[in-house]
Amino acid sequence: MNFIPQHCRNETEVRSKLIVHYLLPRLGYSPDSWYEEVTVRQIRLDFFILNSPIISNEQKINLARSLIIETKHPKENLDNHVGKLNKYLHTISVPYGVLTSGRDFRIYQKVDSPGLARGLFPIPLKLLFRCSGNKISHNITTIQAIIGKNSLRKNNRQSHEITITNASTATKVPNKQNMKTIAVYHNKGGVGKTTTVINLAAALSKKGKKVLVIDLDSQANTTFATGLVKFEDEVDDDIKKANASHVIEFGESYPIEAIKRTSNFCIPTIDVIPSHITLMEKESKLNQLASINFTLIQKLKEVKERYDIVLIDTPPSLNLYARISLIAAEFLIIPSDLKPFANQGLVNVKNFIQDINSTKKIINQEPLKIIGVLPSKIPTNHKFVTSTLPKQLSKITDKYELPLLKTTIFQREDLAKCADAVQLVGEIEIPDPRSVLDFSPSSQSAQEFENLATEVLKKIGAI
């Protein structure tokens, strides 16, 4: 597969399509040895690449075997950013840096100067390699020879080390948490499940978490809401041949890394395993495969070093895909509008959880932990909030004996508008949804999801 710079329309796509999906795998760096949007020695880096992953909070890392990658918008002139890269390399004592806009690709080497000891500005960087974006694939062997994982090991024997000790030294590199998997489920539809998944994912991403969203609902609402459906005609459907059904149907093939797509509906971006309407027609066939319930568990183990949080959007039913989701999950959030039918459905949810936990026990998995019922799509009418809502909330704990999240997601205009955003391409309007935290960051809805992310992280022991 060749890298095509024309497919990168902005800096986010340069990061995902060039660096994450194309370059780093070919240079030999595994997902657990590179860190995106990380702060080291008070400098915020787009990518910090190490020759081995950080294991502990007190581990020394060999900076002579590390690499900095800075990405820019395709229309940016890289000459304007060389000075800043020079400062980064000397401040952190890293020997090599990549500067790229997708259309222009450069590798620089730090040149040590005696004047540094006297506080003088470092001498200019040495340009080791440069090519246009169209020539990156053609020159990948040369690039590997300079900054590939094996090349850095051989070419840099002098040791420059720092110890990762606290957040002021490096943010996000240390203290790698175990991946947490959360299902968002209610067997009643229309309770705000998709809205919860996508905006919680965005809020967690903004808190520095690497997030994977898995859409296991054949209605594919989360796939639409994260902006992955860019076609108007089924002839152009690029999701049909690579989606969630392939991940769960095939044991050794179609790993998550091959199916995931990076969505820029929020910044920082998240990865999404898209759904497709074909999940519906495949269900009866998959139901006959006893092992199908456990495929997702195995696939998630393969990416446990890649992500901090996995959110699974489930179908509003008691079907196979709901079962697969809850078996794979460690934690459960139950969104509810607290109306009578949603409340009555909680009995089915509790019975379903008991069934799931029986299966988990057989395969030596911990029982599903209920984070809580999340009040969602709640009207903002003052009389309702002060009089009716407290009574509805008390039913959750008193009658249904379920834990209740403190955060409430109210039904606000911003949540509807951000999902309906479009992008004009020529004369065609293409869906271009945004998370509410990106669409209207100062809104009450954005604050509610920030609060939810903090509450959830505390409940699952991730902060």
Query: What pLDDT, on the 0 to 100 scale, is given for residue 229?
Result: 79
Determine if residue 426 is left, alpha or beta; phi over 0 gives left, psi from -120 to 50 gives alpha, anything else beta: left
pLDDT-based confidence at residue 350 (cuts at 50, 70, 90): very high
pLDDT-based confidence at residue 428 (cuts at 50, 70, 90): low
Q: What percent of the chain has pLDDT over 70?
A: 85
Query: What pLDDT, on the 0 to 100 scale, is given for residue 53?
Result: 53
CA distances to 45, 76, 90, 105 from 72, in Å: 12, 6, 20, 10
- Provide the domain limits for residue 94: 5-171
pLDDT-based confidence at residue 286 (cuts at 50, 70, 90): confident
């609402």: which residue's tokens? Answer: 221
In this structure, the answer to whether residues 272 and 416 fall within a common structural domain is yes
- Select from 118, 141, 171 the last residue of a domain: 171
- Select from 151, 171, 191 the last residue of a domain: 171
In this structure, the answer to whether residues 34 and 9 fall within a common structural domain is yes
CA distance 110 to 86: 7
In this structure, the answer to whether residues 119 and 208 fall within a common structural domain is no
pLDDT-based confidence at residue 171 (cuts at 50, 70, 90): very low
Q: CB of 193 within 8 A of CB of 314?
A: yes
In this structure, the answer to whether residues 284 and 396 fall within a common structural domain is yes
Q: 181 has which bridge partners?
A: 310
Q: CB of 214 within 8 A of CB of 244?
A: yes
In this structure, the answer to whether residues 118 and 186 fall within a common structural domain is no
pLDDT-based confidence at residue 160 (cuts at 50, 70, 90): very low
pLDDT-based confidence at residue 111 (cuts at 50, 70, 90): confident
pLDDT over 90 at 460, yes or no:
yes
pLDDT-based confidence at residue 424 (cuts at 50, 70, 90): low
In this structure, the answer to whether residues 167 and 186 fall within a common structural domain is no
Average pLDDT over residues 220-231: 85
- Select from 171, 206, 221 the last residue of a domain: 171
pLDDT-based confidence at residue 173 (cuts at 50, 70, 90): very low
pLDDT over 90 at 449, yes or no:
yes
Decide the pairing of beta strands 261-263 and 161-163.
Answer: unpaired
Nearest to 101 by CA among 184, 3, 197: 3
CA distance 191 to 323: 19
Average pLDDT over residues 428-434: 72
pLDDT over 60 at 133, yes or no:
yes
383-414 pLDDT, tens digit each: 999 999 999 999 999 999 999 999 999 999 98
In this structure, the answer to whether residues 193 and 153 fall within a common structural domain is no
In this structure, the answer to whether residues 29 and 165 fall within a common structural domain is yes
In this structure, the answer to whether residues 53 and 199 fall within a common structural domain is no
> By mean pLDDT, which of 82-91, 105-114, 237-246, 424-433 is the weakest?
424-433
* Those residues with Cβ within 8 angstroms of residue 304's Cβ, 6 or more apart along the chain or in another chain: 178, 179
pLDDT over 60 at 162, yes or no:
no
Amino acid in position 325:
S
Whole-structure pTM value: 0.64
DSSP letter assigned to residue 410? B
Query: What pLDDT, on the 0 to 100 scale, is given for residue 278?
Result: 85
Query: What pLDDT, on the 0 to 100 scale, is given for residue 355?
Result: 95
How crowded is residue 54: how many other Cβ atoms within 10 Å of its Cβ? 18
Residue 48 dihedral angles phi and psi, to the nearest 5°:
-120, 115
The domain that holds 366 is classified in CATH as 3.40.50.300
pLDDT over 90 at 429, yes or no:
no
In this structure, the answer to whether residues 154 and 263 fall within a common structural domain is no
In this structure, the answer to whether residues 62 and 163 fall within a common structural domain is yes
CA distance 57 to 50: 15
In this structure, the answer to whether residues 143 and 263 fall within a common structural domain is no
pLDDT-based confidence at residue 197 (cuts at 50, 70, 90): very high
The domain that holds 90 is classified in CATH as 3.90.1570
Tally the domains of the chain: 2
